[in-house]
Structures are given as C-alpha cells and as structure tokens.
Chain A
Amino acid sequence: MSVRLESLQVSLDTEALFPPVNAQVEAGELLVVMGASGCGKSSLLAAIAGSLTRELTAKGTITLAGERVEHLPMHLRGIGIQFQEDLLFPHLDVAGNLLFGLAAEKPTKSKAQRLELVAQALQSAGLAGYEKRDIATLSGGQKARISLLRSLLAKPKLLLLDEPFSRLDEELRGAFRAFVFTQIKQLQIPAILVSHDRQDCPNPHFYGLEQGRMQGIA
C-alpha cells in the first residue's frame, strides 16, 4: 500500500495556494508537510480526503494503493483523517465511537466479534475496559488516543493528520506522538502529517509546502 500525489494543487478561484505537490509515501512511512499557518496545509489534506469546501478546487492526481481516487467522493476514498480536535461523537460512548469506525465490517463480522476488535484496540492503547465510558469524562490524552483508534479501526488506506498534537499540552504531546508513529508502523499504512512545528517531524526530511520540495531539518 502506498500513496502517490502528482501535481496536486488547490486553488481559490484561479489562484493556486501552493506550488504543485509531487510526493510518494510508502506503507508504514510518514510524510511530514510543513508550512506557515495560512499557506494551505489543511486545504491540501482536504483535497486528498475529498472534503474541500466549494470555493476551493483541486487539480492533479491521487493514487492510492494503485487506484486513482481524486474523482471519488470522500466516503469512498478509504482515507482516515485526524484533526487537532478529537471530534469524538458526544452522543456515543467509547465503544460506540469505535464501533462506528468498524461499520464496514458489519456484513462479515458479528457484533461480538466487532466488540472484541474494539476491546483489543483499547487494550493496545492502554485503555482496557473503557468501552462504556462517556466521552465527556475522558482526559484530553485519552480522547486523542481513542480518536486515533477510531480512525485506524476503519482500516484506512491512508491516514491524514492535521496538526494532531497542537492541542495537547507538552507532556501528553510526546507520548501521543510516539503512539501515533508506532501505530502507523505496526499497521503498515502510509500517513501524511501537516504541521508548523518541527518537533512533530521524526524524519530527517520534510516537505516544504511553500517551497514545493523536500527539505532537510536544519
């Protein structure tokens, strides 16, 4: 599984927000895209996910696991996205939120089997037995982890991360960052992270959105 972006560009009216993006991310790898705020980082992710607002238009191709997806609506692209906010559904409990990510498994797996998957996922995050908890009673770090688990349970072919650490305080940030990177490695899916914080980049290189090319961390 890998993702390839070719001359991907987002424009407002006719004006492009950033130079065309050409990049390839392999399974289990993380591409970090950096740029100052307002340069179109979130729009790039929205273009990949298919959730661009209507004033913006995307050009270029997105190839996911060998298939072109840029013409597909967002819910059929098989992409997961993680925002700054956890955006957990407040009307469901922890298990409900995670089961929502398992909707696609419904025809083949029984409820008990799906609950088992949920339990395993929670255990992997150190949250065993949290199924019945109300979202509002969780700490920020717990919410962040459950939100990521929810994205991953849907078995996305690509994970997008939109500054997922910036809302967390210093202590939690490091732990959650490590959690995310191990999950990506373990599940062997490609991931694209946008950030303006160089600490979020575990690699020696990142993609400079404004420059339109890979750069090394100075």
Chain B
Amino acid sequence: MTYNRRLQLIFGVSIGLLSLFFIVLPIVAGLLGTWLPALGYLPSVGYNQYSWQPTIEMFNHPSTWSSIRLSLGSTVLATCGAFVMSQWLCMQLYRSRSWLWVKHSLGPLLAIPHLAFAIGFAFVIAPSGWLMRLISPQLSGFDIPPDWLIVNDNYALSLSVALVIKEIPFFVLMTLSAMTKLNVDKTLQVAASLGYTHNQGWIKLVFPQLFSSLRLPFYAVLSYSLSVVDLSIVLGPAAPSTFAVLINEWFNQPDLSMRLVGASAASLLLLLLVALIGLFYVVEVLITKHCRDWLVAGVTAKKESKKESEKESRVVAKFLSHSAILVIAASSLLAMSALMVWSFSRQWRFPDLLPTRWSFKNWQRSAEQLIDPLINTALIGLASALLALVMSVIILQWQSQQNKKQAKSTHWVTGIVYFPLLLPQISFLFGIQIMLVALHLEGQLSSMIWVHFLFVLPYCYLSLAKVYLAFDDRYLQLGAMLSQSLWRSFWKVKIPMLFKPLAFSFAVGFAVSVSQYLPSLYVGAGRIETITLESVAAASGSDLRVSAVFAIWQFVLPLIVYALAIFIPQWCFAKRKAMN
C-alpha cells in the first residue's frame, strides 16, 4: 500500500470512529432513550413494564390535538411560505439592480439570532408595540394599548410570520449557493433566445436544477419549525401552546409519570415530521411528473394585448418583490432597534414613540445576573465551534483527497454530519438527558460542549465545504516537496491560505452554539445557565427592559465573534493583496 493510501485509510477510519462515538451512537441512544419511555419503560424512575399507558394518556390530554394542529399549521405555513417567497424573490430580483443589495444584506440578516429577533419582533408588533405607537393616538384612536392578542395569538400566526421572516434569508442563501453550481446567466440567455421570458426561463430551466440542492434545507426548516420551543414560548400561543412547547412542559413537570407522556409525544412528533417529509416528497414527485409535459411544451404564442398586460404585471411583481425585501429588512432592523430602545428606557408611556426617560439602570441591574451565563455561553460556544471546525477540517481534508469516483463513497459522512439538523431536537434530547444522567455526565460543561458540537458541526461543515474543496491542492503538494513535510505544508500553507473561510466558519459555529436553547436546557440540568436560557426566562417574565438587555447580549455575543472573524484575517494579511 502506498503512503497516500495508508494516510487515507487512517483518516477514514478515524473519522468513522469519531462520528460513531460522538454523533451516531449518542443520537441512537437519545432516540431509544425517548422511544422506550414512550412505551412505558424507564427503569431509573421505577417504570419497568412496557405499556401503551403513556401514549393513551397523551392522546387523552385535552391540549394534544389542538397543539398538534397548531404545530402542523405553523410549520407548513412557515416553511412553505418562506420557501415560496425566497424562490419568488430570487426569480424576480436576479440580475435586477437590487440583487447585489440582497446578497449583501443576507449576512447581517442571518446573523440575528432567531430568539433575539423574536423578542424584538414582539416589541414591534405587540398592541403596545412600535407599530401601534406609530399610528396612535391620531390614526388608531387608542390612548391605551388595545386589548388584542397579537403576540401569542391563538392561531400561531405571529410565530409563523416571524419564522417566515427568519427563514427567507436562509433559503435565499441556500439558493445562491446552489446557483453557483449552474450557469444561471447562460441558461437564461439560452431561454431568452428560444423566446422564453425571464420568469418562464427561471421556472422551467433554473428552478428545477436548483431544487435538488434545496431539498435538504427545506426538510431542515420543516424539522426546525416543528420542534422549535424558544421562539414558540416568546411568540406562540399559550393555551394550548404548540406541540413542542407542550412536550417540553411535560418533560419538565415534577410528576415523573408525565415524562413518559412527554416521551411518547416526542416520538409522535418525530413520526409527524417523517409523515410531513414523506408528504412533501410525494408532492414533489407528483409535481415533477405532471409538469414534465408542461416543461417542454414550449412557448405559447402571445398576442400583442397580452404582452401589454405582461409588462404591467412585471411592474407589479417588481414593486411587490421590493416591498417584500423591504419588509424583511425593516422588521429585522426595527426589532433590533426596539430591543436597544427598551434596554435603555426608564419610562416609556404608551402612545409615545420614544421613552420620556432614559437610563443605564437596566444594564447595570442585569450585569450581575449576566456574568455567569455570558462566560458559560462564550466558553461553550468557543469550545464547541473549535471542535466542530477541527472535525470539519478533518472530514474535508479527507474528502479533498478522494478522486471523483470515490467522492461518492464519502457521502455517508456528510449524511451523519447533517443528520442532527433533520432530526427534531425535542425528539431525542430527553433520551440524551437520560443517557447523560446514567453516565453521571449531566450538567457538566464537557457534556454541554459536546451536545452543542452536534448542532454546530453541520453549520461549520456547510459554511466551509465549498471553499475547502475548491482549494488548489498543488499548493499543498508544492509545500510538502519544498519543506519535506506534509504536516508542515498543511499548517504553513493550506491553513493560512484558508484562514479567512476557517475564521468565518468558526464564527458561524459560535453563533449557532449561542442560539441553542433545548440542548442547553436538557443537558445543563439547571446548573449551567446560558444567555439563551436566561433570555427565554426573561422574555416570559414581566420586565420587558431586562428581557431586552438579555436579548441584546444574545445578539451581541455572536456579533463580536463575527466581527473578529472578519477583522483578524484582514489584519493578518493587510499587506497581502492576493489574500483579500
């Protein structure tokens, strides 16, 4: 066996073992640790007999069915809404003057954590929020906030809207990255030369090619929306709440038998996701089948009058698409500003647009409360992002050494890496908690770092893969020949040349870690507080101003790391033009 093959084998085997012990087995344990209690088996608290009792109890609970309806409704609405909007925006705005602007605004929009956005968004849309203040009392006639249920509405609409606003940028980013694989400009030119309009060319030629790359992100968003708890607590309906929130409550009740009920509900949630994914897959297959004829049907001849109306609809579409991105950007900006203003407000009576008295008190008051959670969050974030980055580099270095035929055989790793993204968090975290309790690892910093690593890894890998695999490995070869050491070449040539994307991927990982709610809740065991846990607690508390301070920290912490990730490489390579 040659040296290279041996090296590849060592790489492959270590990646296999690492992912087996740190990803696959714990997830399997987490799932089993949820499924068995769902069937009545949880010996650690004295349930030794399998039974359908928990399942029956779950279905008999008065909230279950309405919760499930709410969850399914908001999930489908949010995911489909965001997906359709994102695709429509890409189609409308591609090659328009705003396209560059859209691209540049993606980063900042994605950098805002879901939770901080949700808390700020609630400040904006609430009956006493900014929007209402803007039209009060002159237009609305309200001197006191109306008694409307906008936030926490019974139909989970504000939750769905917040999800749509947050997921559109994500889908657009995924679409952009899928677009780099095809030649969109040429495709549209060809389409135009055959008589297709821009939109027809997009729908018939570009979108079908994009879709295969968007399928996984679509399922991931489905899974996320179905099992999201922190956002649901802030914006979602209260009684009944969404299914995930209900499950979370059951898991945290003092009555231990309710955990079994929670476990069977969590298992049902997973089944619901599988059913939803199956449903959407069937829909996709049906659409592709029925559209095949339509795809190749060609251009229907247009009458002159129709062309006129087409021009008009084009103008309308342009207006609508610009309004849509304006709404997304403005709501994010407003939400963040609302947080800022609230955090510095002392007295802010209802119809006033701004506080009448300002103060630093809220910041000072929460400082003491915040130090521990901030340190924990930073530690966990830095450690889990670093681990995830190292793991991503190991995997990618291995994949980059495979030839094209073998590259297919490395897909299992990608599958394992992405798996935690597709699995609803609440469907296996309880099992993980049980496993950690059994191993006496619950509530420890190391377990916390590990569980965050599970969810950070896919994002680190995703944000690094393309650049890493596109690296011209002749640099690495040359470096090895010149320095007579592969290791040295790797450290002194490849890593520095990829420093920028590596730093960025680290920052993405850190941000993902900061935003984790359920993993911290289930593994921290109340002993490790994080800023996100505290933010949710504060948001459900009574003091809006403290809640705003917490939410801002949840946003600022990742922002600092993003800024460093951009600034440090620039500073390091300030004199190296080709590196920028």
A100 to B404, CA, bound (A): 31
Q: Which residues of chain B in 398-417 are interfacial with respect to chain A, using CB atoms and an 8 Å cutoff? A: 401-406
What interface size band does chain A fall in? 35 or more
Which residues on A sit within 8 Å (CB–CB) of B477?
49, 51, 74, 81
Bound form: Cα–Cα A182–B486 in Å: 30
B3 touching A72, Cβ below 8 Å: yes
Give bound CA distance, A79 to B480, whole Å.
10
B488 within 8 A of A: yes
CB-defined contacts of A72 to chain B, threshold 8 Å: 3
| B403, B484, B489 interface centre (most CB from chain A within 10 Å) | B484
Q: What number of A-B contacts does a CB cutoff of 8 Å give? A: 95
Q: Give the distance to chain A from B71, nearest Cβ to Cβ, in Å.
A: 48
Of A71, A77, A90, A154, the residue contacting B578 (CB under 8 A) is A90
- Contact flags A38-79 to B (C-beta < 8 A → 1, else 0): 000000000001010111000000000000000111111111
- Do residues B573 and A91 form an inter-chain contact, with CB atoms below 8 A? yes
**B482/A154 in contact, CB under 8 A:** yes
The answer to whether A103 touches B486 (Cβ under 8 A) is: no
Residues in B with CB closer than 8 Å to A81 are 477-478, 481
Q: Enumerate chain A residues within 8 angstroms of B480, measured Cβ to Cβ.
A: 74-75
The answer on a CB contact under 8 Å between A74 and B481 is yes
In contact, B482 and A150 (Cβ under 8 angstroms):
yes
B497 within 8 A of partner (CB) = yes
CA distance A165 to B578 in the complex (A): 22
**By the criterion CB–CB under 8 Å, are A91 and B401 in contact?**
no
Report the minimum CB–CB distance from B397 to chain A (whole Å).
14
Q: Contacts A75-B486, A91-B497, A100-B483; is A54 near B4 (CB within 8 Å)? A: yes
* A190 CB within 8 Å of chain B: no
Let me know if A103 and B488 touch, CB within 8 A: yes
- Interface-centre pick from A71, A92, A93, A100 (highest chain B CB count, 10 A): A100
A53 touching B478 by the CB < 8 A rule?
no
Contacts A103-B488, A136-B577 given; does A54 touch B497 at CB 8 Å: no
- Asked whether A87 and B478 contact (CB < 8 A) given A76-B484, A136-B578, the answer is yes
Q: Do A91 and B576 have beta carbons less than 8 Å apart?
A: yes
The reply to whether B481 and A154 contact each other, CB–CB distance below 8 Å, is: yes
Query: Which of A91, A103, A136 is B485 in contact with, Cβ under 8 Å?
Result: A103
- Asked whether A136 lies within 8 Å of B482 as measured between CB atoms, the reply is no
B342 to nearest A CB, angstroms? 45
Q: Is A80 an interface residue (CB 8 A)?
A: yes
Interface status of B493 (Cβ within 8 A of chain A):
yes
Contact B499 A91 (CB under 8 A): yes
B100 at the interface (CB under 8 A from A): no
A6 at the interface (CB under 8 A from B): no
Contact A104-B403, Cβ < 8 Å, known A87-B475, A136-B577: no
Closest CB-CB distance, B315 to chain A, in whole Å? 45
| Cα distance A79–B481 in the bound complex, in angstroms | 7
> B493 — nearest CB in chain A belongs to which residue?
A89
From the candidates A54, A87, A89, A137, name the one contacting B406 in the complex (CB within 8 A).
A54
Q: How far is the CA of A75 from the CA of B3 in the complex (A)?
A: 11
The reply to whether A103 and B578 form a contact with Cβ atoms under 8 Å apart is no
Does A20 interact with chain B (Cβ within 8 Å)? no
Is the CB–CB distance between A89 and B404 below 8 Å? no
CA separation between A93 and B576, bound complex, in Å? 8
- Asked if B479 and A54 sit within 8 Å, CB to CB, the answer is no
- Whether B186 sits at the interface, judged by CB under 8 Å, is no
Starting from the known contacts A72-B3, A91-B499, 20 additional A-B residue pairs (CB-CB under 8 Å) come to A73-B3, A74-B480, A75-B483, A75-B484, A76-B484, A80-B481, A83-B478, A87-B472, A87-B475, A89-B475, A89-B496, A93-B576, A100-B479, A100-B483, A100-B492, A100-B493, A101-B482, A134-B575, A135-B578, A154-B481
Selected A-B contacts with CB under 8 Å, 23 pairs: A53-B403, A54-B8, A73-B4, A75-B486, A75-B489, A79-B481, A81-B477, A81-B478, A87-B472, A89-B479, A89-B493, A89-B497, A90-B578, A90-B579, A100-B479, A103-B483, A103-B488, A104-B484, A134-B575, A135-B578, A136-B577, A137-B577, A154-B481
